[in-house]
Chain A
Amino acid sequence: EDKVVQSPLSLVVHEGDTVTLNCSYEVTNFRSLLWYKQEKKAPTFLFMLTSSGIEKKSGRLSSILDKKELFSILNITATQTGDSAIYLCASFTNAGKSTFGDGTTLTVKP
């Protein structure tokens, strides 16, 4: 059975801190790993990672995939209160089947 594990489950930081969220996976026929941010409603797409070692960056957020060690990290630098959310990672197989992790709840205090 495919498995995606995120850590930590929750994290509380202060504005300006840098955080690293972890996602490890055990997936048969792995194709891609995606990161999402979920606030009050449905998740919004952040990154899709397919190749190992290539960093994807969007503003203060960046992410990288290690296909040898089967994990990905999501970094957020200079955190703001608006970054408070649940961050989900999901694996996708070659057939397009998704498995989501339990998410990391990030709280950024002013």
Chain B
Amino acid sequence: GAVVSQHPSWVICKSGTSVKIECRSLDFQATTMFWYRQFPKQSLMLMATSNEGSKATYEQGVEKDKFLINHASLTLSTLTVTSAHPEDSSFYICSARKGLAGAYEQYFGPGTRLTVT
């Protein structure tokens, strides 16, 4: 199997606070994990790619100081939204790639819905 979990599944926070979202590959080791953002009725937008033990690669337009990504182990990556604002409210989805480059099948987590009030 290839199961990816995310925690929490939904979170409401106040403006100015920080929120951490965890992404775990439960039954495989993920050398690479991806973080996506999805607005209502829109497609997935890749935010960053993280490889275990190294710094994440952010897509153009994504603020690395605002969206902190840590890929501390082969089964865990975290996304911290710092000083969240209402415009950060979105559906955040992680995915994990099983195996090395060449295995492009990605397994998605169930997503985290963030609402910033």
Give the interface of A toward B (CB within 8 A): 31-32, 34, 36, 41-45, 48, 88, 90, 92, 95-103
Verify B104–A42 contact, CB threshold 8 A: no
Query: Which residue of chain B is the closest to A92 with respect to CB atoms?
Result: B104
The listed residue (B43, B45, B49, B110) touching A97 by CB distance below 8 A is B49
Verify B106–A98 contact, CB threshold 8 A: yes
Verify A41–B104 contact, CB threshold 8 A: no
**CA gap between A101 and B43 in the complex, in Å:** 6
Q: Is the interface of B mostly helix, strand, loop or mixed?
A: strand
Chain B residues 44-70 with CB under 8 Å of chain A are: 44-46, 49
**CA gap between A43 and B44 in the complex, in Å:** 10
The listed residue (B34, B45, B46, B104) touching A31 by CB distance below 8 A is B104
Interface residue? B87 (CB, 8 A): no
Q: Taking A96-B32, A96-B101 as contacts, is the C-beta distance between A45 and B106 under 8 angstroms? A: yes
Q: Separation in Å of the B35 CB from the closest CB of chain A?
A: 12
Verify A42–B42 contact, CB threshold 8 A: no
Give the interface of B toward A (CB within 8 A): 32, 34, 36, 42-46, 49, 93, 95, 97, 101, 104-111
Given A42-B111, A99-B46, A100-B45, 12 more pairs with CB closer than 8 A:
A32-B104, A36-B108, A41-B110, A44-B108, A45-B105, A88-B43, A90-B44, A95-B101, A96-B49, A100-B43, A102-B42, A103-B43
**Chain B residues with CB under 8 A of A45:** 105-108
The listed residue (B42, B104, B105, B108) touching A43 by CB distance below 8 A is B108
Which are the 4 A-B pairs with shortest beta-carbon distances? A42-B108, A92-B104, A42-B111, A100-B44
Query: Which residue of chain B is the closest to A90 with respect to CB atoms?
Result: B44
**Chain B residues with CB under 8 A of A98:** 34, 46, 106
Give the interface centre of A34, A42, A90, A98 by most chain B CB atoms within 10 Å: A42
**CA gap between A70 and B84 in the complex, in Å:** 40
Give the interface centre of B36, B101, B107, B108 by most chain A CB atoms within 10 Å: B108
**CA gap between A34 and B103 in the complex, in Å:** 12
